[in-house]
Amino acid sequence: MFKRNRCLRRVAAIASISSLVTGCGILSSDTPEDEGPIVVGTTSSPSTLDPAASWDSSWELFRNIYQTLLSYPVGATTPQPDAAESCEFSDASNQVFRCELREGLKFSNGDELDAKAVKHSIDRIREINVNGGPAGLLGSLERVQAPTDREVVFYLNKPDATFPFVLATPAMSIVAPDAYPAGSLREEGGVVGSGPYALESYEEGERAELVRNEHYKGFAERRNNAVTVRYFQDSAAVVKALRDEQIDLTYRGLAAGDVVDLQGRTSKEEEIQLVEGTGTDINYLVFNPKDPWAGKKAVRQAVAQIIDRAAIAHKVYKDTVDPLYSMVPKGLTGHTTGFFDDYGDPSVAKARQILTDAGITEPVPLTLWYTTDRYGSETALEFKELERQLEASGLFEITLKSRPWKTYVEGYQKGEYPVFGRGWFPDFPDADNFIAPFVGKQNALGTPYEAGRITTDLLPSSRRESDRGNVVKQFEEAQQILVDDARLVPLWQGRQYVAASRDISGAERALDPSTIMMMWELSRKTSW
């Protein structure tokens, strides 16, 4: 996001985040200057302000206004204490996890944050149990206890070495008991959290005004006094706002065409820098097993056999994403290429044979659903390309339908869609998080997937291993089961692009391992 040296001033630059971190330093002040808020633009607006209801990109806001026991300081890939002073498994079987809180914690309204508040926050997630909500992350939790004001103890019903990662997700944000009912979602506006910022004002779909939370105690060193997050409908609008100096930075939802345009500008006409980093976000199709056609394995396998991922990556996304052949993205321990290994190159003949062997000889009618305002401006084009590929085979009759995200979520949670598109930004950087959230009776998709071998054997076995390098075999087998079932069909893996004004510093430090932006790392450059 920044110029690597002075000769790059007023020139659009593209570099990897890692090279910026290790490259030459940038002269800037760590002391926040009172120059007005840093304005961040994104196309991904929250669906809710209550952590108990969210297992989606609402987390991007939550990370900055709520606090979790554990989180990710700059450079960390494993969770470190935040609201907690220390946390550890206190038994050899990874079933008892104990945390001690920092002293003197308070919420943004001045209320005391103690162990009972933590227990309340975790218990209400399971009590409210929103369909498709974060309760699915707590499948290994048996009970929470608060034996003292500063001690919280989590008792698990089975070994789970990933539990610290779960506690570090914004889903486990600590909320004030008096402001968030135990058995229902908060109906009042506003937020009472203990994060680095307080939410001063919020206009749904428009903006969030963040100011320093003077009661905050945690690892974050805030390099600014305030941040305004502005929500846009599409990439074109957010890039225009950046060029018009209405925003300082954008980190989510850049369209492929805008990325390519920014990559190609090397003249003085731009004062915008573009940073490319490795991404672990994925895009995939979900098949509803209760639908008369999508519920047939042969139909799903035929779709998987026809889809040309490389064409989607090139034609729709202009090679700003990579074809993906497994639900576990490349770069993570345990990644395979199962869909390519089993299906090979796209083939209509093979797909026809799959359907014929299942007694299906007429074109299959399928309705594909997508959201209009969540995963970027190319989503509609992507689904048109899927429609073209499937109908060109002569084996399918495709209908496309779409909705805005808020009503889209309600639809798939009610099981209304035969086939629908989803994207996934990881809760934490482990292969477990690309399998576990999608299987079981209760999952992030609101579509039950009772993959017994995965849920009862492979995941429990992997979670007994603290050394995540020792779980490759379990995840390879789990991915093969997903390939065989074809209930989830991966399409592509994203890359991270951030565009920023030349005057903004800190963005190379600001993305945590789940690519959520830690706004407190941003500042304005004060010298060169």
> How many angstroms separate the Cα of 427 from the Cα of each of 101, 163, 226, 433?
23, 12, 26, 7
CB 195 within 8 Å of CB 106: no
Q: Return the higher-pLDDT residue of 55 and 31.
A: 55
Instruction: Supply the pLDDT for residue 32.
Output: 54
Alpha helices in 154-255 (DSSP H): 163-167, 235-243
CB 87 within 8 Å of CB 69: yes
Inform me whether the pLDDT recorded for 19 exceeds 50.
no
The pTM is what? 0.77
Instruction: Supply the pLDDT for residue 111.
Output: 96
The Cα 176–Cα 116 span in angstroms is 10
370 DSSP β-pair partners: 402
pLDDT digits (tens, 9 = 90+) for 415-462: 999 999 999 988 888 999 999 989 988 788 888 898 999 999 999 999
CA 183 to chain centre: 26
Instruction: Give me the mean pLDDT over the 66-77 stretch.
Output: 92
Instruction: Give me the mean pLDDT over the 401-421 stretch.
Output: 93
Which of 58, 50, 67, 62 lies closest to 194, judged by CA? 67
Average pLDDT value over all residues in the chain: 89
Instruction: Supply the pLDDT for residue 25.
Output: 33
Instruction: Supply the pLDDT for residue 519.
Output: 95
β-pairing verdict for 488-501 and 249-250:
antiparallel
Inform me whether the pLDDT recorded for 391 exceeds 50.
yes
CA 488 to chain centre: 17
Instruction: Supply the pLDDT for residue 269.
Output: 59
pLDDT digits (tens, 9 = 90+) for 301-325: 999 999 999 999 999 999 999 999 9
Instruction: Supply the pLDDT for residue 2.
Output: 27
Q: Which residues contact 209 (CB under 8 A, 6 or more apart)?
A: 37, 199, 200, 201, 202, 226, 228
Instruction: Supply the pLDDT for residue 255.
Output: 86
The Cα 385–Cα 392 span in angstroms is 10
Instruction: Supply the pLDDT for residue 167.
Output: 97
Share of the chain above pLDDT 90, in %: 70
Instruction: Supply the pLDDT for residue 376.
Output: 77
